[in-house]
Amino acid sequence: MPRRHGRDTSPRTGWTSIASRGVSDVVEILRLLHTPPPSNPLENQLPYPKSAADLYRGLPDDDARRLVAVATRDHGLLRDVAVHLACFSSVDRTPLQHALLDRDHPHPAVAFRGSTSGEVVARLGALIARAVQVDHALSALAWTRHEGLVREFVDWTNTRPALRRQLHISPSDYARVAGFEIEAERARELTSPSCFQLRIGAEGATASLFEPAGTCPPCGRPAVHLVKFDAQAPDEFASLPPLVTCLDCATADVAFVRLDGTRIEWLGDACERAEGWDLAPARAALVPRPAWEAVEWTCADGVSQLGGHPSWIVDLDYRPCPGCARTMRFVAQVGLEDLGGEGIFYAQHCEGCAIVGVTYQQT
């Protein structure tokens, strides 16, 4: 796909030459989808029948290996293939990981998700020892979730002060890239392994987005339910409180509310955002999908979801709870990307304090 700022919809776009040349090899089709030709006003571009995500979901191991071999000739193409294989495929990604490490560039980090290769883990550790691409190597290691990872992160934090000075944050903090943190030398999950895409406008809708919820007392603007279910939420999220928020306060910084039964306590001061949101309520169906499909928002085929891993647009933004200071867990996100707009609203929750916090990011 073309590398540019903003959400990239090119994996859904083909051109007449694919069909006219009779291309049927899935590897060549994916190469063309990732590297479309220059725009030609005399050529009528047509949508390819399947998205890149769908092609990757059905990609066999042999074709995945061939695709990686083709992609190694172009670093940009290799990164694009790495993201899609990590997000949409369950094939063995070890050859891909070695291809990235051969370039001393273990990025995107999600490409190393769940790696069981001891050699891959050792090569990532060697990059850190050589002080090469340390931030990417730590992020990639976090995604491997290999046995002994927590101990290694704690040891690096406690015994490598120079490494901490180089990074400006603790090595242990890189665990958050993969959706967990290290607390009392143990892994604490900040995301849910269960994930439901909020497929806007789909048949069988059982949830509403942006439904009115009165007024935000701090700023006087309309409050909304970020997500509201017609009945009970899926079992995995049955204890989740109403995700009531103020989109304006969330856009300015973070909107915190404490939910005590039916009583809502708004926390924080009024925001100073000049323009208010004017978003019409939308309906969405809950469709199960793997937790990591929307990690890279530029290639996801829908970022709005309940659970799973967040699609951070700018930086990781797990917030401390204003009640207990413990890191809040990510529970949902609603992407204006899915409604023809820009940006994503993220909801986080502290179960112990019954507090929900909502933030917003855009390019």
Instruction: Specify whether the CB–CB gap between 257 and 245 falls below 8 A.
Output: yes
Residues of the chain with pLDDT under 50: 1-6, 8-16, 20
Model pLDDT, residue 262? 75
Model pLDDT, residue 15? 46
Longest CA–CA separation in the chain, Å: 63
Instruction: Specify whether the CB–CB gap between 343 and 325 falls below 8 A.
Output: no
CA dist 20 to 15, 32, 47, 357, Å? Answer: 9, 13, 13, 51
- Return the amino acid letter for 342: E
- The answer to whether the pTM exceeds 0.95 is no
DSSP assignment, residue 5? S
**Apex CA 28: angle with CA 23 and CA 30, to 5°?**
110
Model pLDDT, residue 18? 57
Model pLDDT, residue 14? 47
- Please state whether 183 falls in left (phi above 0), alpha (psi between -120 and 50) or beta: beta
Model pLDDT, residue 287? 96
Which position has the token pair 């604490």? 188
CA distance 167 to 80: 26
Strands 207-215 and 282-288, by their bridges, are antiparallel
Q: Whats the size of the chain, residue-wise?
A: 363
Per the structure block, which two tokens stand in for 310?
Answer: 């967040």
Model pLDDT, residue 278? 83
